[in-house]
Chain A
Amino acid sequence: MLNHLPILQVIVPLLGAPACLILGRAKLAWVFALLVSTAAFLISCQLLSEVYAQGPLSYELGGWAAPWGIEYRIDLLNGWLLFIVSLSSTVSLVAAQTSISNEIPGEKQLFFYVAWLLCLAGLLGILATGDAFNVFVFLEVSSLSTYTLISLGKQRQALWSAFRYLIMGTIGATFILIGIGFMYMMTGTLNMADLSERLPAASSSYTVFAAYAFVVVGIGLKLAMFPLHFWLPNAYTFAPSIVTAFLAASSTKVAIYLLIRFTYSVFDSDLRSAGLPLPEILIALGMIAVFAGSTVAIYQSNIKRAIAYSSVGQIGYMIVGLGIGGLLGLQATLLHLFNHALMKAALFLSLAAMAFRLGSTQLKDLYGLGQRMPITAFSFVVGGLSLIGVPLTVGFISKWYLVSAAVADGRWPLALLVVLGSLLAIAYIWRVVEAMYFKPSEEGSPKGEAPLMMLLPLWVLIAANLYFGIDTRIPLAITADAARSLLEVVQ
């Protein structure tokens, strides 16, 4: 069975979803979904260690060799992301049952878990596949289930956010479809490895250039890359709390992965060096995102929304890393993918715990929370420190590598700007700390800690934030190798 691991990674949750619907009872569905997600997580660990030891794995679906059939191809890059996504799904699912019990009406909770598993399977499917069109199919599985998950939010704005996301997401997916069509026209193949061999012959054509442009814009929409980010803050704010934790930790990461995959493994380097000053564009967009996202975050009265805007900024850092390129730049982005997943999952889970007790994440409702929910409040502080990039947290590691990459590339002003960007993060985290610890709470406001099932995953994440901020061997080794192998493909 071990040689089937690449496909099991995806079909376990994929088949788990319809099975979950048959179960019919919400509580049972939760246990089942948690089991399935845990299985996916264990498979991803095994895959990652295998790929790290032996190099890329290939799996031919239906027994047809690529490019005639669809190939699954796991290398360090997507092995790393499979690990991140299934980890964040599993950790947030632990808290899901408690959290949604007072956010989603009982008869809809069953659909919630089915949609969750579909979303997980879709994201894993995008990551594992080595076929460009298969990416589109699984992109839609994950997108449709994401719209469903967001629309289950309590307030009516959730519906409107989901609809807007549906429109933007479908435009994005259609753009990607156009790009894939153009590539197919010029090469006759859909397999990524095959594409990368055959595209260079046509790389000077306008068609390939347009294909790349459409793929990048399409992914940019999914990624909420500045200036295509307008759907994200609302979607994250009004989705059920636990969904936000999962999506923030996984779905934008998958989009970043696609961008890296198409840029490095599919299109060849001529295209990037020829036409446009792509690195400069990416760095500029990334930095604008950092400053715009963080600045808007400072003025939000709803903290969930503030952290959502901060995601726009954090995505900016990843784009900057890609723009700098080279071994260090790529490694910085790959590291931040993992680290950002850890801190955002922790922050949004902590907000989910507050929402559970307070029914709100408005700043004014958090006054005096340091006394009322000491454990939850403190976890938010640690997560916030990590977001800022204080030493001994994962956030510091990300920033350190990003700054070193910028310096090594001779971009001193950029390094300075990255540090400046962190100062903005201090501003919006400080507002929350001030409210929680230095403002008196109102009379009769709710008191008491969140249930254990929420605190447990939350503190696992907080511990991970600290542990991987101190002992960085594992992520560093994997990301360094992954970045190296990406650059080798290019040469």
Chain B
Amino acid sequence: MKQIAKAVAILAIAALCASAAWAAEGGNPKKGKYLYKKTCKSCHVEGAEGGNLTPMTKTMSQWDRFFEKAQHPKAEAWKDLKEQDIKDINQFLYDHALDSSQPETCG
């Protein structure tokens, strides 16, 4: 029992000490999904100006690189978005990127 208590304590300390330096943190992916549908999907569908785009179009680090610039190639595209909104969209796209974890189902 003592051994377990010790192991638990070590694990808890390890968790507390873990650094939070990770890409795409602090965004709310749920809000991001809503904003992505509302803001991005108008241009980014098959046949539209921006061409079809889904979270799976890029890898996690590619999405982060894109958002690091904090600038959309089409200048006015993000004009109605606040900084946190962009973070939320980034989080959603990162979480569902090509190399992210995917549901393990058939079909």
A and B interact physically: no
List residues of chain A with CB under 8 Å of any chain B CB: none
Chain B interface residues (CB < 8 Å from chain A): none
